[in-house]
Chain A
């Protein structure tokens, strides 16, 4: 563990904190001496960016004569595109009565009257919000992406579940995929698949595939080995055992894989609008870039409703009584719903009737204005306090320090927290960021992330400890956390934007409310997992509640807390990058600019890569807890 070069004089006992303090002092001295030298200022016209922009031009010119595109990538694009068209055509043909009827019927079959009613109300809400067509487009895009994710992810998952070797090969890839911020997927896909619905569907598919693979593998590997052996002992072939034993027994868990895949897809499908994918993303991103909460709120609500309806339906499937048959009554109701919906298609108007929509754009904008002007004092105070006391000094520090000093600091911290190999990986990522020409912006993004994580951890620890100590508080908090975790990521930008306008702080606020729920949950679970006998023994020895917390519970929950920090960082980074849309600047903004201005495509793509490198680096620094579940595999495992 000793990365410290401080030597201990013989016979003199230094306190435990002396070595780290000495190292810190060394860094401070080095900073003061070398400040302003060895910085890497941002250059919008850096050769790295221009090279990528040229590559894009070349690809666009040769999209139709290069064999790789002609015989491979274009076919994929074509296939995904026609799949999307198919979904869209069917949903359009169903019209709103048909879609409400069919979705209602399916949900009713899955979860009885509650889920059925929820689905009918939810799907109708798309129309009421005046977003029928965008919602259907989004639904079709999610449908295609999820279908492809499952078509690829389930076989891979089954393979990984059956073979240790396959699992060992796949796991590290999934680990990296799961810390990649959403933005990073877009530019390379635009390069290969151009823009539009197919590229959006493919981006969404790639983003949402990890849970499909991971959870399927888990489900398969948990199948009772005796049942498998019994099947083999009766002379079943491997395929027979797979289809008659593995898959049926893994089915309930695999329903959760589908659920998680859909939730991930819903997060991504909005952001895919940056590469011109159709749907609700247009309203949301448009609203974000114009700082118009009124425009994006209905679309945000529609996405949340879609998430809730799909989540409840699939959760109902997963939690179904193992041998419950679908009751005759439910079957009848579902049949009536579906038939009624289909029969009403020709009767009712093609489009959702205008007089049934509720338009509250103006009211919302007014409310936001009111909040902005009336709470101005409070919000500005918070914003300025954080900016002046934390953001600005830290940013100044990181951007004015020589790059090698920052690299050395990262190496030291990562080594101390996580060990040699993660430290070297982190260092490699940081050096790559420097080589890519994105150093200054990466440092700015890192500042934002650091501040957001600090606040997130503070709040998360407080709430987590409170919940662990008071069952009543926990009972109140749990449903809120559950609800928070079904919401797609950028929904959190809405209140942030309403309160703080387009500033750096907006992204920080959004990432805090985005990342706090999982942190709270991990801390609470970690403290609750401390064995009762240990707590009892400490209490019997006369500890106060404070002593119990500081000397027993927190130290024993150290792993969980480290894990919470790790997840908090990864989630915060994802959000801060998206925050580029609402004034967070730095890497996130570069990515957005890369999509909107052709000449800056290179900058955007490289910035996307830099966010991935930053993510891997931050992840490795805090990876002390070796077997961490992924940040996005939220609700279970």
Chain B
């Protein structure tokens, strides 16, 4: 996208949101370090977001995951000040959001950042096309061009032929496509998704996730995606931040979260994830033992473990795990089988290390 990697699309530093009349006072005292229940007990204030910092790269899909009440919805609303943050800095495309005047903030919401909501927030008295065109209407775009643009968007989100329908005549999944279309129509640089699919049936949810992946490929927007569903997070997120009680407890790729949970909370979260579907050979390979044959098939270090099973069954020789031309390590059938059988979850890996060890660097 022609942007150097260190100019982040979104940069958040030291963000706090405390609800309650004495928010500022809490923030300036040591009370802010109390856990949420104690804080509420003592001051009546609720700390929804606590000292959160992260950066989102241009074009990235960044997922924020947490259980309900963990502050993730508040966090995403702070980004465009739908909820006014108590403290901290937010930059979108380098611009300081906190310092923006109301007019400037409106400009940013109109042209640069748009949002998709859990309960859709469609306007029931307007046709689908007028819902999609709503953002453009707000900007003062004339009727003909905005309808033309909305019609394009409708076919992009797979709603051809529904322009004249009303939202309540559509199914939940289709309603959320309208919500998606409304957010896309203003051609934003950044799209925020607040648990957009959690009100949908599981099957439709899967369709919509595929839809988001497709749209991301086609339009390449920067996306911040809030969810409480781990599988959704793993499916969509290039990087995932796990929130708990208002703070980010771990931020990393799916592989990092599953392979090296930062604490018991995260470990508990990712326990049921089929690890062979997420982890790569990087996590499994070991140094060749003396005399081990090194003429087996070669697989890149980024291969998902599950995908290595085929190669291993085709050849009795240990698989060579390579990064480019360099040998990172080897994996043999026994390694794979003991991993797949779950024997590694304790201290059962063959070389005596649990998988919570650091992965092998492979450049």
On A, residues with C-beta under 8 Å from B are 224, 226-237, 240, 244-245, 248-249, 251, 322-323
Contacts and interface: CB of A to CB of B under 8 A. Distances in A.
Majority secondary structure of chain B interface residues (helix, strand, loop or mixed): mixed
B121 A240 contact: no
Report the 10 A-B pairs with minimum CB-CB distance, sorted nearest first.
Answer: A235-B110, A230-B121, A235-B109, A226-B121, A234-B135, A233-B115, A235-B106, A226-B119, A227-B121, A248-B125
Contacts of A240: 138
Contacts of B168: 322
B269 interface: no
20 contacts: A226-B119, A226-B120, A226-B121, A227-B123, A228-B121, A230-B179, A232-B82, A232-B109, A233-B82, A233-B114, A233-B192, A234-B110, A234-B114, A235-B135, A235-B139, A244-B138, A248-B125, A249-B124, A322-B124, A323-B125
Majority secondary structure of chain A interface residues (helix, strand, loop or mixed): helix
Contacts of B123: 227, 244-245, 248-249
Chain B interface size band reads 20 to 34
A237 B115 CA distance: 16
B115 A230 contact: yes
A164 to B, nearest CB: 13
B125 A224 contact: no
Contacts, number: 73
A323 B111 CA distance: 31
Nearest to B186: A234
Contacts of B228: none
A240 B135 CA distance: 11
B113 to A, nearest CB: 8
B108 interface: yes
Contacts of A248: 123, 125-126
Nearest to A224: B121
B134 A234 contact: yes
Given A233-B82, A244-B123, A251-B125, 9 more contacts: A230-B115, A230-B117, A230-B122, A232-B109, A234-B109, A234-B138, A248-B126, A322-B166, A323-B166
Contact of A322 (B111, B122, B125, B134): B125
A237 B125 contact: no
B96 interface: no
B106 to A, nearest CB: 4
Contacts of A236: 106, 138
B317 to A, nearest CB: 57
Contacts of B107: 235
A323 B168 CA distance: 10
Interface in B278-322: none
Specify which of A230, A244, A322 lies most central, judged by the most chain B CB atoms within 10 Å of its CB.
A230
A248 to B, nearest CB: 5
B125 A249 contact: yes
A143 B192 CA distance: 49
A234 B187 CA distance: 11
Contacts of A230: 115, 117, 120-122, 179, 182
Contacts of B109: 232-235
Interface in B167-191: 168, 179, 182, 186
B53 interface: no
